[in-house]
Structure 1
Amino acid sequence: MLVVLSGGGTAGHINPALALAEVLKERGCDVRFAGTPQGVEGRLVREAGIPFQAFEAAGFNRNHPLTLPKGVAKIQKSTGAAKKWLAEIGADIVVCFGGYVCIPVGRAAEKLGIPVVIHEQNSVMGMANKYLAKKARAVCLTYEHAAAPLKEPARSRVVLTGNPVRRSVLSATRAEGRERLGVPEDARLLLVTGGSLGARHLNQAVCAMKGDLLSAPDVHVVHVTGPKEYDAVRDALALTPEEEKRWHLFGYLDFMGAAMAAADAIVSRAGASSLAEVSARALPALLVPFPFATEDHQTTNARAYVEAGCAYLVADDKVEGPEFAQLVHSLLDDADVRARMSAAARAQKTEDAAARLADVVMEAAR
């Protein structure tokens, strides 16, 4: 079976696709990937050893109507190119994860009679997935709420699979992570990350807690600032050589799975991939959603996770207030809170999401 995966724009669309690819290849499928020539997907997919095909795609700016005809023309041209490519390789099914490139690839598959499955990672469905859902063989969701805009027959084809997580995150061990970070086994470890771009308010709030956190001799902090924030955070912390032994500062971390495995709790944004990884690792969490995400979907993501008992939530504009520090201490100081959150996260069964999605894809292809 030849499966084409498609997605673009952010790692949040690509990493779940790569997690699915791992399972599909184990089941004997041939996997290809269709993305944009300039997006992050080209690098990530090639690093994963999956053949990559690029197609131009662009959206439009509602404030600049002239971008609409240009975007439509680009999608129409890429639809023709994708149709030719899908026919040449003999694709059996196309799975779309979001991003504008999915529109020409999905439309081309429809024209050829190739079944299309979509996967929506967030609680608010993106434009490309919403468009393709109308004719998709299956509409796979992480959050039931994402089905709200769908009408029949798309609504009857909804399957809750969860958001797939890559094996490198699932297989990492606590011992491996602590060894790489230089953190003793009996220490309490707080992981702080604002995602790949960082989070200024979050960084500032954690910096303000430096003295408080390091006053406990068994507490270590792994603080991932985001590359653009690293210098400012380093200067604000002004760590002494002794403090650097317990405050581990990074601009970017390329072994996040191992760091999560090592941690006792995490402070994080609420993007779909971040939440899936936190859930798969059953890691007690304090979530600070990025407030400017499309339709504020990170807050919707986070609320669903909090309602399941897996995490705390603080709004971005409240992180420098007393509640943020209180909840950080609750995570670090209360083992019962951490145990309850971990149990609730395990009940989500996120670690099985890639296999569930693979089941849906292979059934749709048949």
Structure 2
Amino acid sequence: MLVVLSGGGTAGHINPALALADELRARGCDVRFAGTPQGVEARLVAEAGIPFTPFEAAGFNRNHPLTLPKAVAKIQRSTGRAKAWLAELGADVVVGFGGYVCIPVGRAAEKLGVPVVVHEQNSVMGMANKYLAKRAAAVCLTYEHAAGALDEGVRSRVTVTGNPVRKSVFDATREDGRARFGVPEDARLLLVTGGSLGARHLNQAVCALKDELLAAGDVHVIHVTGPKELDAVAGQLALTPAEEKRWHLFGYTDRMGEAMAAADAIVSRAGATSLAEISARAIPALLVPFPFATEDHQTTNARAYVEAGCAYMLADADVEGPEFARLVRSLLDDAGVRERMAAAARAQKTADAAAKLADVVMGAAR
């Protein structure tokens, strides 16, 4: 079976696709990927060893209507190219994960009679996925209430699979993670991350807690600032050599799976991929949604997770207030809170998401 995956724009679209690719290849499927030549997907897919074919695609600026004809023309050209490519491959099914590039690839599949499956990672449907969902063979969601944006006739084709997480996130062990970062087994470890680009406001709030956190001799912090924030955060923290042994500061790490495996608790944004990985590892969490995400979807993502008992949530505007410090202390100091959150996270069965999605994709192809 030959499966074509498509997505672009952010790692949040690509990582679930790569998790599905791992599962499909384990089942003997041939997997190809269609993305944009300049997007992050070109690098990530190549690193995963999956054949990659680029197609130009772009959105338009609603404030500048003249950008629309150019975007439409680009999609039309790429649709023709994608149609010839899919026909040559003999694709059995196309899976779209979001991003404008999915539109020409999905439309080309429709013209050839190749079934299309859509996967939406967030609680709010993206434009490309919403467009393709109208005629898709199946629509897979992370959050059930995302179906509310779909026409009634489409909802009969919806399956809630969850958001797939790459095998590398599961493979890391607590022991390996703690050895990697030099954290003792009996230490309490707080992981702080603002996502791939960092989060300035969140970084500043955590830095303000430095003295309080390090006053407990068994607390360690792995703080991933985002590449552009590293110098500013290092200056604000002004760590002494002794403090650097317990406050592990990084602009970026490609060992996030090991960092998560080592952590007792996490402070994080609420992007779809971050939440899926936190859930898969069952890490007690304080979520601070990015307030400027489209339709505030990070808050919607986080709310469902919090209501399930898996995490705390605090608005970005409140991180410099006393409630932020209180919730961080609760995560670190109260083992009962951590145990309840971890149990609730395991009940979400995020670990099954890639297999569930693969079942839908292979069923659509047949």
- TM-score class, shorter-chain normalisation, is over 0.9
* 1:74-125 Cα deviation digits (max 9, x unpaired): 0001000000000001000000000000000000000000000000000000
Could you tell me how far 1:145 is from its partner in structure 2?
A: 1.3
Could you tell me how far 1:205 is from its partner in structure 2?
A: 0.5
Q: Which runs of 5+ in 1 are unaligned?
A: none
SS at match of 2:222: strand
* 1:2-48 Cα deviation digits (max 9, x unpaired): 00000000000000000000000010000000000100000000000
Where does residue 305 of structure 1 map in the other structure?
A: 305
Q: After the TM superposition, which of the residue ranges 152-161 and 18-27 deviates more from structure 2?
A: 152-161
CA distance in 2, matches of 1:342, 1:165: 17
Note the 1:337-356 alignment, pairs <5 A: 337-356=337-356
Where does residue 52 of structure 2 map in the other structure?
A: 52
Where does residue 86 of structure 1 map in the other structure?
A: 86
Cα RMSD for the two superposed structures: 0.4
Note the 1:1-366 alignment, pairs <5 A: 1-366=1-366
**Paired letter, 2:134:** K
SS at match of 1:270: coil
CA distance in 1, matches of 2:269, 2:75: 32
CA distance in 2, matches of 1:306, 1:252: 27
CA distance in 2, matches of 1:307, 1:182: 34
SS at match of 2:149: coil
**Paired letter, 1:202:** L
Could you tell me how far 1:153 is from its partner in structure 2?
A: 2.2
Moved over 6 A (4+): none
**Paired letter, 2:178:** R
- The aligned length equals 366
* 1:149-206 Cα deviation digits (max 9, x unpaired): 1113211100000000000001110000000000000000000000111101100000
TM-score by length of 1: 1.00
* 1:258-310 Cα deviation digits (max 9, x unpaired): 00000000000000000000000000000000011111100100001100100
CA distance in 2, matches of 1:122, 1:170: 21
SS at match of 1:248: strand
Q: Which runs of 5+ in 2 are unaligned?
A: none
CA distance in 1, matches of 2:217, 2:103: 54
SS at match of 1:153: helix
**Paired letter, 2:54:** A
TM-score by length of 2: 1.00
CA distance in 2, matches of 1:161, 1:170: 18
SS at match of 1:336: helix
